[in-house]
């Protein structure tokens, strides 16, 4: 059933005139090119001239409690339609402090969470959201805009996303789906370690005594602690699997092989698409990590061929873990590079505007002075108008 079918009420069907009006109204739409252009303009404008509104943020930030109690797929879809594609699209680039940021975090992302099916998908989306918060921290830090308030908001949301992922992983573990539970924990730990490295590279470029540097370090501390806890939990889950029967270990190793191969292939494609946006050091590091992942995968193939199911499981686990970490590292590196480029463009624009203003003012002064001198020398008067 289409959303517009809700408008086809009895009166509309019985009255040809009303029916025609409703039909015409529901068919009004922008052309694809117009929608794309509008989204592009709005997104770019929000980057250059973000609107700050603490009051609006506070009001919208009350949404999470409501969502947890009332979210449903139907309501989520209806809300997205009401919100509008353009607004939701523009909100994707919003950062803490921007007027659309609460929409991004508490509406569009919550809608996606509501549409996830099963604890594994929900957990992976929660990890993706945690990754988004850390990318936002890096972006603001590069731009010199990571304030204490923004850092606190990012940390709060980051911890909330991790709690969700951990709860979903615990549900899988409770259902004795150790393969899925371990994969989730691998995703959590590897993603956090990659972002910790990216944030540390950003921190290293900031001057001592810079408030932004202190805020970055606070985020890094949270990530480091969470990554350590995740690594310990992943190890315990893997040991639990190895203590099972040979058949169960073999089945889990087979699942791990499929996940590792898919992630390695996806990471390779990501690196090919984005390598020109990475600096030489980051590119070399990513390529090296991807090589380690491939070698671990090949070792798993050899272990499996020998009938060493436990060894194959360990090797494929290493391959998956390394591929996930590489993927997150590449995404984080691209984000930092793009943020630096955006900052440099903004600085150039500001300098250009300042230079234009100075030139215009200077030219105007020269013209006025020349006119004044000419008029005075001729004994005339300057016409100021009526």
pLDDT at 226 over 60: yes
pLDDT band at 55 (very low <50, low <70, confident <90, very high): very low
Query: What distance, in Å, lies between the first and last C-alpha atoms of the chain?
Result: 67
Question: What secondary structure does DSSP assign to 140-199, as a single string?
Answer: HHHTT---HHHHHHHHHHHHHHHHHHHHHHHHHHHTT-HHHHHHHHHHHHHHHHHHHHHH
Share of the chain above pLDDT 90, in %: 57
Q: pLDDT (tens digit, 9 = 90+) per residue, 305-350?
A: 999 999 999 999 999 999 999 999 999 999 998 888 766 555 555 5
Whose CA is closest to 95, among 134, 140, 128? 140
* Token couple for 213: 């540097």
pLDDT at residue 11 is higher than 50: no
pLDDT at 342: 67
Rounded Cα–Cα distance for residues 85 and 90 (Å): 9
**Mean pLDDT value of segment 130-144:** 97
Structure confidence by residue, pLDDT tens digits, 350-376: 544 454 444 444 444 444 344 444 433
Lowest mean pLDDT among 77-91, 107-121, 272-286, 294-308: 77-91
At residue 118 the predicted structure's pLDDT band, cuts being 50, 70 and 90, is very high
Average pLDDT value for residue range 222-232: 97
pLDDT at 61: 47
If one compares 276 and 189, the residue with the highest pLDDT of the two is 189
Any idea where the domains of the chain sit in the sequence? 31-115
Task: Give the pLDDT confidence score for residue 47 in this predicted structure.
Answer: 54
How many Cβ atoms from other residues are within 10 Å of residue 69's Cβ? 7
Q: Tokens standing for 7?
A: 């408008």
H-run or E-run covering 109? helix 109-114
Q: What is the pLDDT of residue 269?
A: 97
């Amino acid at each position: 059933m289409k959303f517009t079918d809700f408008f086809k009420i009895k009166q509309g069907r019985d009255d040809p005139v009303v029916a025609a009006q409703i039909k015409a109204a529901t068919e009004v739409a922008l052309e694809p090119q117009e929608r794309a252009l509008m989204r592009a303009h709005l997104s770019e404008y929000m980057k250059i001239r973000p609107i700050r509104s603490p009051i609006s943020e506070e009001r919208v930030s009350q949404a999470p409690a409501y969502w947890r109690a009332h979210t449903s797929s139907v309501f989520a879809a209806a809300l997205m339609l009401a919100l509008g594609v353009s607004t939701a699209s523009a909100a994707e680039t919003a950062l803490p402090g921007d007027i659309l940021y609460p929409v991004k975090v508490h509406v569009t992302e919550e809608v996606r969470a509501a549409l996830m099916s099963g604890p594994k998908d929900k957990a992976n989306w929660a990890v993706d959201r945690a990754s988004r918060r850390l990318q936002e921290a890096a972006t603001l830090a590069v731009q010199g805009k990571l304030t204490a308030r923004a850092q606190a908001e990012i940390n709060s949301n980051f911890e909330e996303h991790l709690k969700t992922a951990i709860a979903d992983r615990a549900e899988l573990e409770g259902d004795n789906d150790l393969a899925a539970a371990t994969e989730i924990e691998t995703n959590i730990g590897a993603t956090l370690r990659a972002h910790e490295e990216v944030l540390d590279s950003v921190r290293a470029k900031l001057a001592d005594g810079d408030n932004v540097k202190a805020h970055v370090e606070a985020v890094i501390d949270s990530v480091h602690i969470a990554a350590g806890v995740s690594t310990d939990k992943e190890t315990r889950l893997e040991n639990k699997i190895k203590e099972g029967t040979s058949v169960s270990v073999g089945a889990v190793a087979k699942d791990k092989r499929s996940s590792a191969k898919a992630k390695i292939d996806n990471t390779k494609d990501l690196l090919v698409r984005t390598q020109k946006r990475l600096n030489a050091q980051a590119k070399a590091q990513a390529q090296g990590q991807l090589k380690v992942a491939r070698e671990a995968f090949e070792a798993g193939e050899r272990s499996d061929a020998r009938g060493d199911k436990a060894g194959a499981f360990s090797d494929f686990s290493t391959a998956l873990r390394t591929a996930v970490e590489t993927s997150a590292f590449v995404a984080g590196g691209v984000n930092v590079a793009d943020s630096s480029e955006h900052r440099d463009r903004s600085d150039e624009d500001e300098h250009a505007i300042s230079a234009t203003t100075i030139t215009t003012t200077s030219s105007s002064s020269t013209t006025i002075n020349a006119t004044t001198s000419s008029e005075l020398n001729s004994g005339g008067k300057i016409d100021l108008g009526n």
